[in-house]
Structure formats: structure tokens, C-alpha cells
Structure 1
Amino acid sequence: MDAKNPLAAIRQYIDAFNKGDVKNMGATFAEDAAILDGMAPHLWLGSTATQDWYRDVLIEGEHHGASGYFVTLGEPLHNVTTDDAAYVVVPTTMTFNVKGRQVTQTGAKFIVALRKVTDGWRIAAWAWAKGTAA
């Protein structure tokens, strides 16, 4: 893992998400991490939070005919690091397909709290504030 700064850890997570690489998504997470999302059950906790959340994304997507998720990160709105803790808010754009039609969601925010451990930064928690779809 090459997460030498908080933003690098976030980019690694999003790159893994875009590739559907659940193993590398999990590698960016702290053991006691949390995910807060608008999709039920809304909260995922612990060492398998990212894997459990991703599984639920795919199930929800199948239910709605959605697939092909791809997130693009903008420039951070907040990027604050204090010792071994960081808080980053990044505007995002997500594209995906719904029943064969491409949808672009703009104006979303990816809010991430991170902590530094001996071998780099790990995501301690993240939340997604949904944008508008067109």
C-alpha cells in the first residue's frame, strides 16, 4: 500500500472501487472503520465494512438495473491533517448505467476521516452525500 498522505489513501480506495477490486478497497481501511451511506442499511462497521458495503451496492444495483459505477474525484474542499488524523471532503462525479442508459451524478461529496498507522494512512470512516443525477 502506498498511502503516504491522506489524499493518496482516498485515491487508492476510489481507484479500487472503480475496478471492482474489493480486496484493495479493504486494504485502505482501518480495522474498526465505518461507512455511512444513503443506501440501506445505511451503516457498515468493522474490518469487513467495505466488503459488506460493496456487496450491498451490487445487490441494490441489480434490483434497480444499475451497474458500471465509476467515481471521479475533484479537488478537495477540505483537506486538514493534524498529527495522525485527517479530514478530507472531496467533490465527486459518479457515472453509472441504469437499464442501459448512462447516468451522471454531479455535486456529490465524499467525506472521509483517516488515521495514520505505522505503514500509512487508513480510512477510519467515510460518508457519501448524494448529488443530482442527469
Structure 2
Amino acid sequence: MADSPFDAVRRYVAAFDAADIDAMAAACDDTMQILDGMPPHTWQGPTATRAWWRDVMAESEHLGFSGYHITLGDPSHVEDNGIFGYVVVPAAMAFSVAGAQRTQTGSTFTVALRNSGSGWRLTAWSWSKGR
């Protein structure tokens, strides 16, 4: 089965939706970098995914957010030269705020990847908030 950069992005998002931090971390390269709208806004290195998740969960508890689910649209850009990949995909995030369902639409998920020889691994991602 051929693996593509977008397949790796979908697996990462599925792990996020399942709150499976081990699968999320396993999908990432040791050089991982995350840029997100929540302070401190950047996380880097082999612990980036776990540190980001820890901070998301702390912020979620503080704000009363829960039940995150990302829906990806059709990618607007996918690059794959066999070694490096780049995916830009419109996205929406549904979540609960103190029990009330909310959806953030018009977001963009941008991901850089590297083919490790045993499959694509995320090296960086950014989430640009929509409405």
C-alpha cells in the first residue's frame, strides 16, 4: 500500500480525535515543530507533541473545552518529492464549551513531512484559526 503525505496527516488527525497522544507522538519526527494559537504558541523537538498536548489539556480544563474533533477538507496543496512532503488543507474543529457545541470553521492545517523510509512522519505543523 502506497503511503502519501496526506495519508500521514489523516492518521495524525485521527489520533488527535481519539485523544491518542502515543499515536500522535509516534507520527512525528524528532525535529517536530508546532505553531498554534495558544500560548506559548511554539513547541519544538522530540517532546513537542506531548508538551503541546499537555498544554492543550491544561488550557481546555481552564476554559471548559472538551470533545475536540477535526474535519479535514480536500487539500488545497500536496507536495511529495519522495523525501519531503507538504500539505495544506482546509479544516474545521468541533468542540464543546461548558457543554455547548461549537465549531471553528475556515481554519487551515499546514503540515511539513519527511519520508523516513518506513513512512511519512510529521516534522512541523501550524493551525491557522478561522471563524
Shorter-normalised TM range: over 0.9
TM-superposed CA distance for 1:3, in Å, is 8.0
Quote the residue 1:95 is aligned against: 94
TM-score (norm 1): 0.94
TM-superposed CA distance for 1:81, in Å, is 1.3
- In the TM superposition, structure 1's runs of 4+ consecutive aligned residues that sit over 3 Å from their partners are none
Q: Are residues 1:41 and 2:44 paired?
A: no
| Secondary structure in 2 matching 1:15 | helix
Deviations 1:54-97 (A, max 9, x none): 11111111111111100011100111112301111011111000
Whole-Å separation in 2 of the counterparts to 1:20 and 1:3 = 26
| Contact kept? 1:3, 1:12, Cα under 8 Å | no
Whole-Å separation in 2 of the counterparts to 1:3 and 1:89 = 20
Quote the residue 1:11 is aligned against: 10
| Contact kept? 1:87, 1:114, Cα under 8 Å | yes
Whole-Å separation in 1 of the counterparts to 2:85 and 2:117 = 15
Paired residue type of 2:50: Q
TM-superposed CA distance for 1:118, in Å, is 1.5
Structure 1, unpaired ranges of 5+: none
Paired residue type of 1:60: E
What is the identity percentage for the equivalent residue pairs of Structure 1 and Structure 2? 50
Whole-Å separation in 1 of the counterparts to 2:33 and 2:95 = 24
Count of residues in Structure 1 that have an aligned counterpart in Structure 2: 131
Structure 2, unpaired ranges of 5+: none
Quote the residue 1:65 is aligned against: 64
Paired residue type of 1:119: S
Paired residue type of 2:100: R
Whole-Å separation in 2 of the counterparts to 1:122 and 1:14 = 13
Whole-Å separation in 1 of the counterparts to 2:28 and 2:64 = 29
TM-score (norm 2): 0.96
